[in-house]
Amino acid sequence: MEEAGKKNTDDALERSIGMQRGPSSMEADALKSGPGKSDTYRIRFRPALDIFSQGRDVAVCLNELRSLGRCKIVAQTEDIPYLEELDPAICYLYWDAILTTNAGEDAVRKALSSSSEGSTLKIDVIDEEECANDDGAYKQLGEILLERGDLTPGDLEEILSSKKRIGEMLVEAGKVSREKVTSALIEQQYMRELRRRHNEAEFRSDVRATARGFNSSFNLLDEFVMAQARLVQAVLARNIPEFTSAAEEVKKIIEELRESTMSFRMMQIGT
Amino acid sequence: MINFDIEPVHGVGKLTFEGELTVKHGKEAREALTRALAEVDHVIIDVESATEIDTSCLQLFCSAHRTAERMKKKLNFSGILPYCLKNAMKVAGYDRHTGCGFDPDCRCLWIAR
């Protein structure tokens, strides 16, 4: 019975991640990042305790963070006290976020620094575009929690000596709150998904090029064809047998090259 | 405006919040939640007529829920949640599918809403 309960807890944690990564939203988020080098940041943002009474809206900062790129934000509620101890004007919440953006770390700081004085912000780059892992793998849950400072190495070793799932064991042992485990699992899933997409993009059979680069290649090809035509004409006019066959050969190859390059501009209709 | 009605037979109380539910009304809302939990075993929160809900309000409901769990009582929302609450949850990163450490029975207010 107890085992079943634990399994449900862990499954619920896994499910929570699965539900947060619908393919459509991932596509939309990926588009937000736009061109350029994107880095992925792990962010822990703790606003000043009195942010509510200052009349500032945390939601505005969080939305500003979202506007920078693909982003997953998790509210951490573990510090909220019981009603009799709660001061409604104090903010007991803090937030973990995973953000992939090409806007740079300064933009992240700027988005959250406007919240209020006295807030704390921790930003770590956890993935740089050019350093993406080849096999799409990402860190284990224990590693993520260690890096975040939510878990000590001693506690991790102690927990790893048994054979259950680490998230479940850490929560049961009271070493880490369930919210923190969930947040770390979200990071793990987010990064695996990001790297999987990165790998897929690398192995796709078609390529993407900028319109300007493409047009420039076409223009160069046109000039090449015209120069080649003049060269062939000059060779044929002089009737030099050694060059004639070579000129014919060059003409044939360039015509093929031209045809195949022009086909790049054709779009299939009805597919 | 906050109304609290008790259904004496079943020990169920309905707490209705209307209009703006922000930090300005935080103390009043906390008192109402405290009183409701003291008087009945099952508190139903009705926010269908709320027009504005901020992050401080989400925090207040969280606190009320964990207080109810400690008292072995029930606290949940009634009916369909208004857009302002759903939006506040989404923006504040409250959309979740697992409860917190204070919620052993997985009755979290925010699960799959």
Domain map (residue ranges) of chain B: 2-92
Q: With a CB-CB cutoff of 8 Å, which residues 184-223 of chain A face chain B?
A: none
pTM score: 0.64
Largest CA distance in chain B: 39
Closest CA to A168 of B59, B4, B98, B31: B98
Contact (CB<8Å) B95/A20: yes
Pairing of strands B12-21, B74-77: unpaired
Count of alpha carbons within 13 Å of B71, Cβ hemisphere only?
Answer: 22
Between CA A20 and CA A72 the distance in angstroms is: 9
Between CA B51 and CA B54 the distance in angstroms is: 10
- At residue A167, the 3 state secondary structure works out as helix
| Integer angstrom CA distances of residue B73 from A134, B31, B65 | 51, 17, 9
In the block, tokens 């061109």 appear at A35
Q: What is the pLDDT of residue B8?
A: 61
Contact (CB<8Å) B98/A178: yes
Residue B96 is given by DSSP the state: B
Between CA B72 and CA A223 the distance in angstroms is: 83
Q: How far is A48 from chain B (nearest CA, A)?
A: 13
Residue B40 is given by DSSP the state: -
Which architecture characterizes domain B2-92 according to CATH? 2-Layer Sandwich (3.30)
The answer to whether A123 and A43 have CB atoms below 8 angstroms apart is: yes
In the block, tokens 């044939």 appear at A252
Q: What is the pLDDT of residues A28-87, one digit of tens each?
A: 444 444 456 788 999 999 999 999 888 778 898 899 999 999 999 999 999 999 999 999
Mean of pLDDT values over A93-116: 86
Q: What is the pLDDT of residues B86-97, one digit of tens each?
A: 999 999 998 776
Residue A175 is given by DSSP the state: S
B25, closest residue in chain A (CA to CA): A88
Which of A71, A86, A150, A181 to mutate to test binding with chain B, by most B CBs within 10 Å of its CB?
A86
The answer to whether B98 and B111 have CB atoms below 8 angstroms apart is: yes
Using CB atoms, which residue from B92, B98, B100 is nearest to A59? B92
Contact (CB<8Å) B27/A88: yes
Q: How far is B79 from chain A (nearest CA, A)?
A: 23
Band (pLDDT 50/70/90 cuts) for residue B112 is low
This complex has an ipTM of: 0.90
Q: What is the pLDDT of residue A163?
A: 65
Mean of pLDDT values over A119-148: 77
Of A148-152, A193-197, B18-22, the poorest mean pLDDT is in: A193-197
Q: C-alpha angle with apex A149: A145 to A151, nearest 5 degrees?
A: 55
Is residue B49 pLDDT above 50, yes or no? yes
Which residues are CB-neighbours of A197 under 8 A, at least 6 positions away? A26, A30
Q: What is the pLDDT of residue A226?
A: 82
In the block, tokens 């942010």 appear at A51
Q: What is the dihedral of CA A44, A49, A53, A59, to 10 degrees?
A: 10
